[in-house]
Structure 1
Amino acid sequence: MRLHLVHIISILFVSQSALIAQEAIDTITLQDSIIVTPDTIQKQIDEKLVSIIGVGDIMLGTNFPHPKYMPPQNGDSLMKGLYPFLSDASISFGNLEGAYSDSLPITKRCQDTANCYAFRSPNFLFKHIADAGFDVLSMANNHSGDLGVPGRLNTIEQIEKAGLSHVGLLEYPSIVIERDSVKFGFCAFAPIRGTCDINDTEEAIRIVESLNDRCDVTVVSFHGGAEGSKYENLTREREMFLGEDRGNVYEFARKMIDAGADVILGHGPHVLRAVDLYKDRFIIYSLGNFCTYSRMKVSGINGLAPILKVFTNKKGEFKKAEVISCKQIKGLGTRIDKLNKAALKLKELTLSDIPEAKLKISTEGIITPTN
């Protein structure tokens, strides 16, 4: 009797399942045939998007040459409102402009300390960078050596103590980080002693090729090009600034992509520059400044501070990008800009400097390939 009851229940269950299945068939249009192959599955895996956030220069305050260049409230409000945006990606990257120490002496040669741009950020300020959600920081810039080797070592200590990674110094040219089964490779270059040289193309290619062999998505940062609002336009030529060879960033970006790079994030000019697409790989030639509390201009175009979110598939092929327009407000820090001026400026510069770029930029800051 017990077995017979079980049998009856089983029949009822199967009948009910059949009715549910039939109802589902009645409400959807089935394809004539669906063939699932290993290639189909692999394509679906490859098309799953990953995201990389990139921002411009970060320098939250300096106690040199005077404590007046330090932010109020210990810097607590400089970019706190942006934390949800900065951490909303597979991985987040920024350019760490300056060195960290409470009191190490400045080694940069300064005839007039009032007009000497050397940055010494006290150690306690670094917590804001860690809290913001950054994962990787570039030290390949012209201020990471402001406190000499001791300053670089102390800065590295702050970064690693917070659980973050860094790239760009000769001793630390690259890093590989795995997130959700995707391996991201990062490297960074600058025309500065002690950093990986943007003008040593052969070595840069070797670094990128090595990363590409080990990673799914390879991100290259550079600190190059002339500085200031007069240099927002891309020249496609070698740029000299204050007697220093700042490289040909247009040519450099393409050579890095030829070597295996997937995303190129530019820094250095302190203002925005155009975006570009080469071999289905995304380039921005300068992200400008992101959060530079003191000793840097934040008016007009100098204050545009976008958060760039680049989406690629697992092969590194560009799919889209989002520009979250922000601006710096003197004495306050970085805030969302409801007028979307950073996105509009990127659109303007791209149409002007790289009109052949196969990219569409909306006024809301969505960047998509045109083919």
Structure 2
Amino acid sequence: MKALFSTSAWIFVIVIFLSACKVSQKTSTKSNTPEIDSSAIAQIDTILVKPDTVIAEVIQDSVEVQVHRLIKDTVSIVGVGDIMMGTNFPEEWYLPANEGRDLLAEVNPILQNADVTFGNMEGVILNEGGNPKYCKDPKVCYIFRSPEYLAQNLVTAGFDVMSTANNHAGDFGDPGRKNTMRTLDSLGIYNAGQTMRPYTTFMIDGMKYGFAAFAPNTGTMSINDISKAQEIVAHLDSISDIVIVSFHGGAEGSKYQHVPRKNEYFYGENRGNVYLFAHEMINAGADVILGHGPHVTRAVEVYKKRFIIYSMGNFCTYARFNLRGDNGLAPIVKVFTNGEGEFFKAEITPIIQKAPGGPSIDPEGRVIKRIQELTAEDFPESEIKIDDSGIITYIKN
């Protein structure tokens, strides 16, 4: 190591040190306000008064300590499916009472208890106006416009990141898209999936996460452009500790709960080959794949030590949704990985929605049994097992 540093070299190494300092955005209340580690600041103060010959050595040692602190032994990620907490279109009586504050009350403790909590924003967040999709009779059209006040429930529940890539993201045109992103941004909830925002990165408790979302719909990042999706995921993998990928794909309804391992078409639209997509995203560097779109639950899989759930169904969909039978059952999935994204185990909390909607814990655990059946049928080669309590582990530890 050289004995002397120029002034510019001093500045350079101090900047490098600052970039390595621990940043924490998540407290027990899931705050999104960054905080620089006070011990790191103290070390910087010490460095500034040390001779040139010692500066680089102190910085090098500090960087190694800080990087070591960034790697967590276990990371927990909670994922849920479609969220549409009420719509004021075409009528305001499609909105829940009490500003929806009771909608998530029963499951909030579960959602809050994770390093990262994810959901799919089905529809737009917009008080009024926008450019609604053309519909001959709005009363039988399914387009969703949730007032901004409902989004506060996402903060209370502890959501950190959301997908805006789905077939309802463009229900009210660009005004709806932009206001959805603006509202989530203002609440400190990271989001991605629109072509105007393909991906995002964020820091929580010293870990850097990359997130990207895909769908087969106009204005969203395409699930059918696998090569482009791979480029995005590979880039995120190069700059992140954990990469989470969300997709909205596959045909809809209880007739389409199986993963067919081929392109699925619904109402003439190519809804993607979700099996191929999930595997190729993992090949490109993704660590956790969270699927949604069919409005019912699908199977789970572990591929190359990375977790995939192919659909998480309807999680919180108030009014205007079919909640009969399997459409009303869904999991809250909590995935545990190591600091590099390798699957350790997962837990399913079974929920049920009854019309008009809103999740409650299902004491009968019906969705667990359904996921057991679907996984056994669709992935008989699977290396995982699902017990009756919803714990997912490797067959052989």
TM-score by length of 2: 0.81
1:250 pairs with 2:278: no
Larger Rg: 1
- In the TM superposition, residue 68 of structure 1 has moved relative to its aligned partner by 2.1
Please name the residue that 1:178 is paired with: 203
Runs (5+) with no aligned partner, structure 1: 1-41
CA distance in 2, matches of 1:181, 1:162: 21
Partner in structure 2 of residue 304 of structure 1: 329
Q: Give 1:46 shift.
A: 6.3
2:389 to 355, 364, 369: 364
Q: What is the alpha-carbon root mean square deviation over aligned residues?
A: 1.6
Matched to 2:279, the amino acid is: R
After TM superposition, list the pairs within 5 Å mapping 1:259-338 onto structure 2: 259-331=284-356, 333-338=358-363
Shift of 1:305: 2.3
Q: Which residue of 2 aligns with 1:134?
A: 159
3-state SS in 2 of match to 1:258: helix
2:159 counterpart SS class? coil
CA deviation vs aligned residue, 1:92-147 (integer Å, no higher than 9, x gap)? 00000001112114421212212211001111111111211000010000101101
**Amino acid of the structure 2 residue aligned with 1:340:** G
Q: Given the alignment of the two structures, is residue 88 of structure 1 paired with residue 101 of structure 2, yes or no?
A: no
Specify whether residues 47 and 77 from structure 1 end up closer, same or farther in structure 2 by C-alpha distance, changes over 3 A only: closer
Identity of aligned residues (%): 50
**Residue 88 of structure 2: aligned partner:** 63
SS in 1 for 2:339: coil
How far 1:280 moved relative to its partner? Answer: 0.7
Q: Which position in structure 2 is the counterpart of 1:25?
A: none
Residue 107 of structure 2: SS of its match in structure 1? helix
Q: State the alpha-carbon separation in 1 of the partners of residues 292 and 268 from structure 2.
A: 19
* CA-CA distance at 1:340 after TM superposition: 1.0
Per the alignment, in what secondary structure is the counterpart of residue 177 of structure 1? strand
**Farther-moved stretch of structure 1 (50-59 vs 331-340):** 331-340
What's the counterpart of residue 118 of structure 1? 143
**CA separation of 1:46/1:300 partners in 2, compared to 1, >3 Å: closer, same or farther?**
same
Number of residues paired by the alignment? Answer: 330
Give 1:332 deviation, angstroms. Answer: 5.2
Per-residue deviation, residues 276-335 of structure 1 (Å, max 9, x unmatched): 111111100000010001111112110112110000001110000000111112135211
Task: Give the residue type in structure 2 aligned to 1:259.
Answer: A
Q: Aligned equivalents of 1:151 and 1:47: distance in 2?
A: 38
Corresponding position: 1:156 with 2:191: no
| CA distance in structure 2 between the partners assigned to 1:316 and 1:115 by the alignment | 43
CA separation of 1:43/1:368 partners in 2, compared to 1, >3 Å: closer, same or farther?
farther
Runs of 4+, deviation exceeding 3 Å? 42-47
Which residue of structure 2 aligns with residue 199 of structure 1? 224
Q: Which residue of 1 aligns with 2:19?
A: none
Aligned match of 1:97: 122
Q: Is the 8 A contact 1:58 1:97 kept in 2?
A: yes
SS of match in other structure, 2:316: strand
Secondary structure, counterpart of 1:352 in structure 2: helix
- 1:180 positional shift: 2.1
Report the alpha carbon displacement of residue 43 of structure 1 after superposing the two structures with TM: 11
Q: Judging changes above 3 Å, is the alpha-carbon distance between structure 1 residues 170 and 105 closer, same or farther for their aligned structure 2 residues?
A: closer
Distance in structure 2 (CA, Å) of the matches to 1:150 and 1:332: 27
TM-score, L = length of structure 1: 0.86
Give yes or no for contact 1:106–1:118 (8 Å, CA) kept in 2.
no
Unaligned runs of 5+ residues in structure 2 are 1-66
In 2, are the aligned partners of 1:145 and 1:151 still within 8 Å (CA)?
Answer: yes
